[in-house]
């Protein structure tokens, strides 16, 4: 089939309005939130499972590949097309099919935006815990593809922990349901878990059964400022050891405290080593006891300022620095590369000092933002993409950071995925045996490598 014929066929399947194959459209579907880009054959917008089945069958016949895409906000190059691929945009499949608060289940289509689901759930006093920072824009299908986390997941877990079941279209065009509306519904192998986080390389998700929870009755927000990162880190360990599981333990380092202060002028001490935002939730009766314990722990760790929000406005105030932080680095340099390494909690201080060392060696500015409770860190490496030589150094620093995380017993990706961006480092994390297992999984689902080829790892087809 010629490209032109393929596009005609695509239009027949999803309708003229749901295909983009013009220059402007293809340019617009060639990028994501990384510096990578490509140009595909076409971008399509299926509206139903049936459309997806037909697209898969056509892909099999005509020999092009399919790249599932939600909002294209991923940080791994996971939706970058090539000239033999058709981007499948799920964002027009965005219905909420069922919200069953009695039984803690919501059933949705994959193109639904995480925020739009939360807004509906909130009306019923419920929520869906995974809240990636991009939740206002990202689709749930995209969240599943990458197995997104978020600030809340220290207590509540990541995306895979909230998926009860899926309806998927397999690369052979067959539709199957994995799991169901309850725990214990999986047919032996946990197909749901292997598909969640597979970055769109195993199956196309067309329906999602999510676990939802009632909103917690009470919440407390605290802010702690330290002279040294080690002290903040000690606080985190001690809080966990005390049996308190905060929903949020967000940390910012000295550089980010300064850029945030540049942006807000809120009066953060510019010589502070680290800032920690601590949030707990649960029964109203338990809040004071936990706040007291946390205050004690912070004091023991030589906290220099400790604030507890008393009103909603104060909660807002405590979050202010964290909210503006990413934007605030744009004042220093136009671009940033956001890494996603995770290390065991005990290795946190080593990782922080290691990153600062790397920054020095590579002559780059790096700010560290971390979900400190789970050891997931987002070093923001600042640069200007127009300076090629600097971009080179950024890439070297990225590799240094990944390598260090692995040396400290961690992983390259806590919540963003591998995609194209970190593919070249994946063998640093996984042995040939593990890589072989990945290949076996891929080949079981997708022997012809039709789905998102070249992502996560290179395979010979």
252-291 binders of another protein (CB under 8 A): 282-286, 289-290
Among 183, 265, 271, 312, binds another protein (CB under 8 A): 183
Residue 186 in the binding site for another protein (CB under 8 A): yes
Measure Cα distances from 177 to 128, 170, 185, 192, 208 in Å.
Answer: 21, 10, 10, 9, 10
Stretch that binds another protein, among 6-14, 169-177, 303-311, 357-365 (CB under 8 A): 169-177
Stretch that binds another protein, among 55-63, 249-257, 267-275, 432-440 (CB under 8 A): 432-440
Residue 190 in the binding site for another protein (CB under 8 A): yes
Among 2, 311, 363, 431, binds another protein (CB under 8 A): 431
- How would you class 360 by CB atoms within 10 Å of its CB: exposed for 0-12, middle for 13-18, buried for 19 or more? exposed
Backbone angles phi, psi at 63, to 5 degrees: 75, 35
Nearer to another protein, 124 or 269 (CB): 124
Nearer to another protein, 206 or 376 (CB): 376
Q: Smallest distance from the beta carbon of 49 to another protein, in angstroms?
A: 12
Backbone angles phi, psi at 415, to 5 degrees: -160, -5
CB atoms within 10 A of CB 93: 24
Q: Rounded CA gap, 78 and 254, in Å?
A: 32
Whole-angstrom Cα Rg for the chain: 23
Residue 410 in the binding site for another protein (CB under 8 A): yes
Nearer to another protein, 43 or 272 (CB): 43
CB-CB contact of 459 with 442 (8 Å): yes
Nearer to another protein, 198 or 247 (CB): 198
Residue 458 in the binding site for another protein (CB under 8 A): no
The footprint of another protein on this chain (CB under 8 A) covers a number of residues equal to: 126
193-222 binders of another protein (CB under 8 A): 193-194, 196-198, 214, 217
Nearer to another protein, 1 or 322 (CB): 322
Among 5, 8, 12, 27, binds another protein (CB under 8 A): 27
Among 20, 85, 248, 254, binds another protein (CB under 8 A): 20
Query: Tokens for 146?
Result: 């990458």
Q: Rounded CA gap, 211 and 165, in Å?
A: 9
Measure Cα distances from 237 to 73, 161, 245, 401 in Å.
Answer: 32, 23, 11, 23
Instruction: Name, in order, each residue with C-beta under 8 angstroms of 123's C-beta and a sequence gap of 6 or more.
Output: none
346-385 binders of another protein (CB under 8 A): 346, 371, 374-376, 384-385
Among 170, 356, 391, 396, binds another protein (CB under 8 A): 170
Query: Tokens for 72?
Result: 């294209």
Largest CA distance in the chain: 70
Among 16, 24, 265, 461, binds another protein (CB under 8 A): 24
Burial 187-217 (b: 16+ CB within 10 A, else e): eeeebbbbbbbbbbbbbbbbbbbbbbeeeee
Q: Smallest distance from the beta carbon of 305 to another protein, in angstroms?
A: 25
Q: Smallest distance from the beta carbon of 301 to another protein, in angstroms?
A: 15
- Taking residues 225 to 254 in sequence order and writing x for each that binds another protein by CB under 8 A, - otherwise, the string is ------------x--xxxx-----------
Nearer to another protein, 304 or 425 (CB): 425
Stretch that binds another protein, among 1-9, 28-36, 264-272, 390-398 (CB under 8 A): 28-36
74-93 binders of another protein (CB under 8 A): 89, 91-92
CB-CB contact of 140 with 208 (8 Å): yes
Nearer to another protein, 362 or 378 (CB): 378
Q: Smallest distance from the beta carbon of 234 to another protein, in angstroms?
A: 10
DSSP assigned state of 104: T
Count CA atoms within 13 Å of residue 284 on its CB side: 1
297-356 binders of another protein (CB under 8 A): 324, 326-327, 330-331, 334-336, 342-346
108-167 binders of another protein (CB under 8 A): 113, 115, 134, 136-138, 146-147, 149, 153-154, 157-158, 160-161
CB-CB contact of 419 with 412 (8 Å): no
Q: Rounded CA gap, 300 and 389, in Å?
A: 45
Nearer to another protein, 320 or 441 (CB): 441
Q: Is the dihedral of CA 295, 296, 297, 300 positive or negative?
A: positive
Q: Smallest distance from the beta carbon of 271 to another protein, in angstroms?
A: 25
Q: What is the DSSP string of 386-429?
A: T-HHHHHHHHHHHHHHHHHHHHTT-BS-SSS--TTTTGGGHHHH
Residue 51 in the binding site for another protein (CB under 8 A): no
250 - beta bridge partners? 277, 371
407 closest CA partner among 343, 353, 348: 343
């Amino acid at each position: 089939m010629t490209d032109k014929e393929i596009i005609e066929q695509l239009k027949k399947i999803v309708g003229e309005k749901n295909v983009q194959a013009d220059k402007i459209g293809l340019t617009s579907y060639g990028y994501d939130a990384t510096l990578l880009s490509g140009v595909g054959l076409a971008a399509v917008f299926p509206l139903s499972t049936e459309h997806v089945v037909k697209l898969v069958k056509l892909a099999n016949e005509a020999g092009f590949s399919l790249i599932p895409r939600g909002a294209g906000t991923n940080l791994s190059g996971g939706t970058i097309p090539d000239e033999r691929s058709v981007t499948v945009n799920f964002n027009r499949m965005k219905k909420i099919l069922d919200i069953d608060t009695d039984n803690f289940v919501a059933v949705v289509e994959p193109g639904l935006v995480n925020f739009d689901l939360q807004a509906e759930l909130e009306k019923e006093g419920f929520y869906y815990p995974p809240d990636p920072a991009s939740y206002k824009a990202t689709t749930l299908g995209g969240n599943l593809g990458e197995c997104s986390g978020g600030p809340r997941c220290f207590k509540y877990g990541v995306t895979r922990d909230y998926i009860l079941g899926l309806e998927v279209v397999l690369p052979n065009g067959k539709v199957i349901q994995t799991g169901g509306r309850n725990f214990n519904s999986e047919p032996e192998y946990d197909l749901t878990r292997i598909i969640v986080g597979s970055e769109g390389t195993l199956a196309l998700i067309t329906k999602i059964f999510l676990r939802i929870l009632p909103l917690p009755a009470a919440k407390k927000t605290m802010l702690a400022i330290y002279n040294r990162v080690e002290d903040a880190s000690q606080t985190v360990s001690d809080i966990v050891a005390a049996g308190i599981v905060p929903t949020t333990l967000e940390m910012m380092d000295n550089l980010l405290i300064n850029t945030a202060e540049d942006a807000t002028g809120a009066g953060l001490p510019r010589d502070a080593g680290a800032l920690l935002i601590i949030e707990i939730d649960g029964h109203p009766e338990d809040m004071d006891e936990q706040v007291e314990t946390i205050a004690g722990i912070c004091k023991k760790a030589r906290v220099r300022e400790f604030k507890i929000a008393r009103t909603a406005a104060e909660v807002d105030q405590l979050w202010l620095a964290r909210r503006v932080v990413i934007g605030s680095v744009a004042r220093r340099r136009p671009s940033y590369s956001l890494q996603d390494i995770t290390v065991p909690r005990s290795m946190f201080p080593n990782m922080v000092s290691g990153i600062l060392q790397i920054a020095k060696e590579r002559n780059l500015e790096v700010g560290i933002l971390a979900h400190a409770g789970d050891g997931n860190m987002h070093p923001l490496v600042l640069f200007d993409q127009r300076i090629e030589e600097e971009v080179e150094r950024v890439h070297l620093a990225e590799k240094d950071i990944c390598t260090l995380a692995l040396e400290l017993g961690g992983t390259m990706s806590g919540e963003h995925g591998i995609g194209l961006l970190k593919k070249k480092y994946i063998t640093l994390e996984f042995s040939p045996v593990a890589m072989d297992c990945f290949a076996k999984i891929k080949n079981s689902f997708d022997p012809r490598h039709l789905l998102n080829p070249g992502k996560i790892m290179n395979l010979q087809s």
